[in-house]
Chain A
Amino acid sequence: DGGITQSPKYLFRKEGQNVTLSCEQNLNHDAMYWYRQDPGQGLRLIYYSQIVNDFQKGDIAEGYSVSREKKESFPLTVTSAQKNPTAFYLCASSTQQGASDTQYFGPGTRLTVL
């Protein structure tokens, strides 16, 4: 089956910890994205990557870091510098960034700070 997978589905973080959210796609897409969703708000872009070994900050990159060592994978690390990390995190991919086709979304990871 082609698609995007995210793991884990639920994640709990203690104060001061870094945690990494996984995102994998087998759609052969060049572009990948990370969004954050808070209750009653639209999705906000954290980081995106147009190609392997390249990524750009989105609107709310502070306290987050990413890597793109493989085309299929775009992990997101939530660092201790992110003061309010509790949210629903969504990963997406598309053939190209800014292209006219759709973005495909993973099932999401819910992160809770204890």
Chain B
Amino acid sequence: KQEVTQIPAALSVPEGENLVLNCSFTDSAIYNLQWFRQDPGKGLTSLLLIQSSQREQTSGRLNASLDKSSGRSTLYIAASQPGDSATYLCAVNNNDMRFGAGTRLTVKP
């Protein structure tokens, strides 16, 4: 059974810092990996989707990488802003979606 782990569980940074969120998974036979954002009490918003044949995806200040062989993905956020404060969830799709517990990010003004 696929296990997805996210480290750290929580992260607090000052505004303007670049930061990296980590996701690891145990079964490398995946279709794709997604990063989601969740604001408190809200649903999930898809940020980036990386197909199994891809190494990375970029959207604005966000860059996600995928290394299937090592079972790892990172989400890089450049020049963080207070509006980036949210929980970031990693999900791995190998016919079923498996979610990590998330990293709760706080960006302080």
Contacts and interface: CB of A to CB of B under 8 A. Distances in A.
B49 A42 contact: no
A110 B91 CA distance: 22
Contacts, number: 56
Contact of A98 (B41, B42, B95): B95
A106 B41 contact: no
A101 interface: yes
Interface residues on A, range: 20 to 34
Contacts of A107: 42-43
Interface string B65-107: 0000000000000000000000001010101111111100000
B58 interface: no
B41 A110 contact: yes
A45 B96 contact: yes
A102 B43 contact: no
Nearest to B43: A105
Contacts of A98: 31, 93, 95-96
Interface of A: 4, 6, 33, 35, 40-45, 58, 88, 90, 92, 97-108, 110
